[in-house]
Structure 1
Amino acid sequence: MSSTVSIQQNLSPLLSLGTLCKSLAISGLVLFLFYTFLFNPPNNYQPSDLLSTIKQKWPINIPPTTNNIIPPTTNINHIVFGIVGSMNTWKYKNSYSAAWWQPNITRGYLFLDRAPTPEFQPWPSNFPPFRVNEDVSKLRAFPRMVRPMQVRIVRTIMELFRQGDKNVRWYVMADDDTVLFVDNLVGVLAKYNHSKYYYIGSNSECVKSNFDFSFDMAFGGAGYALSYPLVEALAAKLDACIERYPYLYVSDFMLHSCLADLGVPLTHHKGFHQIDLVNDISGLLSAHPQFPFLSLHHIDTVDPIFPSMNRSEAINHLMKAAKADQSRLLQQTICYHRPTNWSFSISWGYSTYIYENIIPRSILWRPLETFRPWARNARPPLYMFNTRWLSNNGCEAPHVFFLDSIGRSDEGDQIVTTYIRKSARGLPPCSFTGNHSADPITKIQVFSPATTRMEAGGRDCCDIVNMGRSNNITEVKYRACMKDEVIA
């Protein structure tokens, strides 16, 4: 008996060692099979499917919730527009709203200071449906308000919210002399999270205007966008904010102040245009920054944007290009013709410039200063962007062509925009580059793809495919830029 016990005691370490080795062997086999299964898949297996393979073999049960549903991309149905107007001026400005408003597609309201006069009854269907603003004299702060009219304007946001439209993601506010480019607005707003607080807009083109109010304030004439949850929060506190700031005399600054008190800063986005400018703004529109063109304001304070047209006709002419391809509207494309040493600067749907010289993009991106600032007493710096002075030098002054017509190529796959000369340049040719005069050119046709839209912040490249060999018409064809394409 004692010998048996002694033998078992002597064998016990060996038995334990054997059990351990057996466990290690089994574990090693399992790991080997696991490794072989995951990291030596069939030949058609893609590494990116690794996570899905694991989920198929070892599914994780996630209870279905609304958070797992991907909401649809923001579209025109998610936006409500609030247009602020006055019955005294509506008769002069209604054509601007009619130019962009799309009955039964866009939704929103025109807010007036009083009911429409008989001349607008019945209310035309091509206008936004109207509402009459609430009487601000009922507010406790009314006796202390510096400018009740401005309070009416800022309270329009709250009144717009109270209309109770459903499935709203964004409220876009603008004036009745503002033209909006809705397709581009939809594309821009779709890039933002509408469930967060957002206040999106841009400041003035002029330094003094921003200095007088704020460099971080959206100018309402240019238009701005507010996300639904932000408007919901603002509507509950707006009157209290007005009570707090009755001495503010500009609605845009009232809104900026109230939103700042809520902790919401401005999200700057280029493309909204206040146009605190006077005279001829063609230089600005011909060198638009590489951002979608979203709005145009103060149309009545500048020259008609197309020569030989009145302001309303000029806006409707621009809208023809907007309807054809809003993504490219006013987007600047630059290309060169080396045999003649010419530079072409094309503002799609608006203008084309020919320079009898090879001029770098860094210069052509700067607008020609055909305009002046809003304030006559402004001192430099005048603008929030760099400009170029006009020149009488034949090597620096462009030949200017404006949009004449829009059509399709015979095959239908190209949009053809045609630009005609504004007037004779009246300068000698640029002798520095070989006296190749562009004076004979009377028309420029630009071919762009009809089915491919330009991505926000993207660019096109172009080639000169016909240099006026027939009928003094030059043809330019847009194409995708090649990798690492440069001027040289």
Structure 2
Amino acid sequence: MGENNHKDQKPISYEKSNKPIFSSYASSSSSSPCSFTAIIIILIFLSYFLYSFSFISFLNPYSPSRIPNSLLVPVIRLGSGQRPEEKTELKHVVFGIAASSDLWRHRKQYVKTWWRPNGEMKGAVWLDVSVNDSVSSPSSPLPQIKISSDTSSFKYRHRNGHRSAIRITRIVSETVRMLNGTESEKDVRWVVMCDDDTVFFPDNLIRILRKYDHKQFYYIGAPSESHLQNLHQFSYGMAYGGGGFAISYPLAKVLEKMQDRCIERYSDLYGSDDRIHACMAELGVPLTRENGFHQFDVYGNLLGLLSVHPQTPIVSMHHLDVVEPIFPKTDRVSAIKRLMIPAKLDSASLFQQSICYDTSRQWTMSIAWGYTVHITRTYMPARMMEMPTRTFNDWHKRRDFTNLAFNTRPITYTDCQRPRVFYLSRVLNDSSSDMTLSEYLRHNEWNPKCNWGIQDPSDINRIFVYKKPNPDRWNKAPRRDCCRVVPTTKKGTMVINVAPCANDEIVAYSDK
């Protein structure tokens, strides 16, 4: 291209060429011809670029340059003085407990087992008429008592039901009205409904609710265990009120505004929870299903269900007056009180199953932590051990497993495979090892004779289970714990260690 010093240069001509001869310089200016050309090219390019940008903005009506400032959404950033929203706690939940004056004297004992006084929990028991203990203090082991408003003006046309269902349906609305304008309302995020014969595990309830945005419309619960109940009487899309359900507070306030009109439209429905479901359908809010809410529409022994609880925190248990006590040789309330001891030590792991094998004796062990240990002769695959055994009848008091909304299996396939059951006797926290130690004693029941050449599990009288509490287990993907038999020389005793499975650990009696 040449150098920048052109003082002595003359116009350049090209001889022997038919092309026109151009003068490279028109004057004696000191500017470079290359620099001048480059400036011209850059100006042309910039002009073209600006034109293209304005043309694209003209074609795109949503270009930022064409949106009025009044419609732009500001970007909100947390300043140095702002804190992220705190996690949902018990203080953010208000309970509406449906009760009747006829049964309250007895059923309040269930509520006492899980209610936390002194302002740790808030809510009310809604009765039809006043009872003697209708006045309660903050230190009372029971929630405050409220009397439901009169519902005699509402129509009720179901021939086999009871019109008290209307009163119970309106507890959500009356709870919202009870909170309206009070100081505590600003903290409320969820309204939780249940019956007076329902037991809650509050810490697990909070674990479930933390998964959801309380500012959105949520209706959380579970259907019945009875297929016929879901299919004919109610719906698989309905949360059963006995097992309890949670409604986000914004949704509860909207429900309160329209519920009375909605109730009038469904005078032919049977219960309170199906009326709630009908109103939710009108609002367009579906059921968010959480399997830890338990209606327990069954009769008999819950052993088969609770020993293989789903891999989710247990939230509630209903119909405790219908089923047998969950621990043998005790009354129902005392059985729940015993269960609350392991619930305080490791509520996240309560009823969670782990499976392992004693290869030296050809036994299969299944531990439902805080509740039972089962020992079965011979090897049983994990997929079978996860299935509930039929220790109960369906809601129509028939041993018809096709009337259940889940898979089940017989208690035993042969007399030799009948499991030996060990129930929780006590549990304590071992501070030296930061582990819990739970003891399970064998339940004496009919044990048929067996001619298999396998040692009888009845030789074991007690089982000790070591386990480290795991309150954060539900912040991870669900996975069953693993268990390992620990050698011991003590006669009639078995020791088992329960812990999270290793990444590549499998539960199988053979690698073949």
- 1:439 corresponds to: 458
In 2 relative to 1, CA 207–378 (structure 1 residues): closer, same or farther, beyond 3 Å?
farther
Name 1:156's counterpart in structure 2: 171
Alpha-carbon distance between aligned partners in 2 of 1:278 and 1:268, rounded to the nearest angstrom:
23
Which residue does the alignment assign to 1:109? 124
Equivalent-residue separation in structure 2 for 1:404 and 1:297 (angstroms): 23
C-alpha distance in structure 2 between counterparts of 1:155 and 1:210, whole Å: 22
Which string of whole-angstrom CA distances, capped at 9 and with x for unpartnered residues, describes residues 52-106 of structure 1? xxxxxxxxx956579x853111111111111010010001111110000000211
- Aligned residue for 1:416, secondary structure, equals strand
User: What's the offset of the Cα at 1:193?
Assistant: 0.9
Find the counterpart in structure 2 of residue 76 from structure 1. Answer: 90
Residue in 2 that maps onto 1:54: none
Report the count of equivalent residues.
443
1:307 counterpart (307, 325, 328): 328
User: Given the alignment, which residue of 199, 216, 226 partners 2:237?
Assistant: 216
Match of residue 60 from structure 2: none
Of stretches 149-158 and 160-169 in structure 1, the one that deviates more from structure 2 is 160-169
What are the within-5 Å matches in structure 2 for residues 389-408 of structure 1? Answer: 389-391=410-412, 393-408=414-429
- 1:425-483 per-residue CA deviation (whole Å, 9 max, x = no partner) reads 5233572xx4222121000111010465532623321110035x204111111222111
CA distance 1:332–1:149, change in 2 (3 Å): same
| 2:25 counterpart (8, 15, 38) | 8
Structure 1 distance, partners of 2:38, 2:238, is 79
**In structure 1, distance between residues paired with 2:401 and 2:505:** 37
Once the two structures are superposed, residues 329-375 of structure 1 have per-residue CA deviations (whole angstroms, 9 ceiling, x without a partner) of 01111111112121110011010000121111100011110100111
| Alignment equivalent of 2:304, drawn from 273, 283, 307 | 283
Question: What is the Cα deviation at residue 415 of structure 1?
Answer: 0.4
Over 3 Å counting, the alpha-carbon distance change for 1:214 and 1:122 in structure 2 is closer
Q: What are the within-5 Å matches in structure 2 for residues 42-191 of structure 1?
A: 64=77, 70-104=84-118, 105-117=120-132, 125-137=140-152, 139=153, 141-142=154-155, 147-164=162-179, 165-191=185-211
Letter in 2 for 1:94: K
CA contact (8 A) 1:394 1:430 kept: no
Describe the SS at the equivalent of 1:300. coil
Change (3 A) 1:121 1:199: closer
> Out of 362, 368, 372, which is 1:351 matched to?
372
Q: For 1:194 and 1:415, how far apart are their aligned partners in 2?
A: 34
Cα deviation, 1:123-159, whole Å, max 9, x if unaligned, reads 781011111001112x4x4476874311100100000
- Show the counterpart of 2:349: 328
Q: Tell which deviates more after alignment, 361-370 or 476-485.
A: 476-485
Q: What is the alpha-carbon distance in structure 2 between the residues aligned to residue 131 and residue 382 of structure 1?
A: 38
Structure having the larger proportion of residues in helix = 1
- The answer on whether the counterparts of 1:356 and 1:430 sit within 8 Å (CA) in structure 2 is no
Q: Deviations over 1:401-440 (max 9, x none)?
A: 0000011336141101110000155233572xx4222121
What is the CA RMSD across the aligned residues, in angstroms?
A: 2.7
Write the distance in 1 (CA, Å) between the matches of 2:448 and 2:213.
Answer: 53
Report whether the alignment pairs 1:273 with 2:294. Answer: yes
Paired letter, 2:462: K
One-letter identity of the residue aligned with 2:458: D
Consecutive unaligned residues in structure 1, runs of 5 or more: 24-60
Matched-pair contact (CA < 8 Å) for 2:412–2:419:
no
Structure 2 counterpart SS, 1:325: helix
The aligned amino acid for 2:313 is P
Q: Distance in 2 between the 1:266 and 1:70 partners?
A: 29
**Partner of 2:261: helix, strand, or coil?**
helix
SS of corresponding position for 1:477: strand
- Give SS of 2:341's match: helix
Structure 1 pair 424–86 and aligned structure 2 pair: CA distance change class (3 A): closer
What is the distance in 1 between the residues matched to 2:298 and 2:470?
36
The alignment status of 1:239 with 2:260, answered yes or no, reads: yes
1:354-373 mapped onto 2 (5 Å cutoff): 354-373=375-394
Q: Does the CA contact (< 8 Å) of 2:127 and 2:145 recur in 1?
A: yes
Q: Measured at CA, do residues 450 and 245 of structure 1 come closer, stay the same or move farther in structure 2, by a change above 3 Å?
A: closer
Deviation at 1:120, TM superposition (A): 6.2
How far apart, in 2, do the equivalents of 1:79 and 1:366 lie?
34
Q: CA deviation at 1:390?
A: 2.1
Secondary structure of the equivalent of 2:449? coil
Q: State the shift of 1:485 in Å.
A: 1.2
Post-superposition Cα deviations, 1:161-209, rounded to whole Å, max 9, x if no partner, equal: 1122331111111000000010000001001111110000000001011
- 1:196 aligned partner: 216
Contact 1:448 1:479 survives alignment (8 Å): yes
The one-letter amino acid of 1:444's match is: I
Mapped contact 1:399–1:425 kept (Cα < 8 A): no
Unaligned residue ranges in structure 2 (runs of 5+): 1-9, 12-21, 44-73, 180-184
1:336/1:358 contact within 8 Å kept:
yes
3-state SS, counterpart of residue 233 of structure 1: helix
Aligned counterparts of 2:223 and 2:251: Cα–Cα separation in 1: 20
Contact in 1 for aligned 2:156/2:268 (Cα 8 Å): no
Question: For residues 398 and 469 of structure 2, what CA distance do their matches in structure 1 show?
Answer: 46
The yes-or-no answer on 1:485 pairing with 2:505 is yes
What amino acid maps onto 1:72 in structure 2?
Answer: E
In structure 2, the partner of 1:57 is none
Give the alignment's TM-score, normalised by structure 1. Answer: 0.85
